[in-house]
Amino acid sequence: MLYAEKEFDHEAARQWTDSIKTVSLWLSAIYVILIFSGKRWMRSRSPFGLRFPLFLWSSVLSVFSILGSFHTVPELYNGLLNYGLTYTLCDCSFLRGSSGFWAFAFTLSKAYELGDTLFIVLRRQPLIFLHWYHHISVMIYCFYTYSDHVPWARWYIAMNYCVHSVMYTYYAARALRVRVPSFIRMLVTLLQIIQMTVGLVLSIYAFLIKRSGADCHPSYANLVAGMLLYISYLILFVHFFYEQYAAPVRKKSSDDKMPDTSLDEVKKLR
């Protein structure tokens, strides 16, 4: 266990996040202004290659996501196996200890992941709505959710870490022009769709548990916001999947012409 994990103070982290959560709104506004200004600025300029910086960026996020999965998935599995589904949706114990440290790191990482878009803009790749909408909405929601210590976030965090482990590893390989089976790119999108479907179902179930009068921590506002976000993500990812893999007639493009941050084009989660 890392020293930071052993010394992690989940209540201090919650209070700090609560004190700066509105920063996510300002950061989102600045992000949108910068990416569209940058897109306009790049119109008259040649695209940058940036393959090695992209490899380093993706590798850092890949390793981070793998470590996050290693620390959050076992906690979710043990809670589900020993205490049941309702426990995993209504108990906040995962926010303490090792899994708590990685839940906090996950929240902060959503601000860091905004940097994904820099590569898209500077390489003059398509910047689709799914990409930037997903980035800012996930970041804002994560900051507000963590500041409220929402227990069902353990599902979202564990799932997202797992998906990003595959996704950023794929991006790192593609940045080095490593030949990766084409089905991997489709798999990333499918994993995103599965993540959004599970997240939507669980948020509805948590809402019903709370309506029944059971002791379940999430606020109605957080649950409703979660459901609305998951619905929008699910629609957008299904549409993206259809356009890329199922549409009967579409303009073919190589992987090099596709955005290198497909979570958000395939994304991202984010």
Give 15: exposed, middle or buried? Use CB within 10 Å, 0-12, 13-18, 19+: exposed
At residue 166, the 3 state secondary structure works out as helix
Other beta carbons within 10 Å of 182: 10
Residues annotated as part of the active site:
134
Nearest by Cα to 141 from 24, 235, 236, 50: 24
CA distance 223 to 69: 24
Our separate counts of H helices and E strands in the chain read 11, 0
Give 95: exposed, middle or buried? Use CB within 10 Å, 0-12, 13-18, 19+: buried
Longest dimension (CA), the chain: 60
DSSP state of 264: T
Upper half-sphere CA count for residue 246 (Cβ side, 13 Å): 9
**Residue 176, CA distances (Å) to 154, 187, 188 in order:** 33, 20, 19
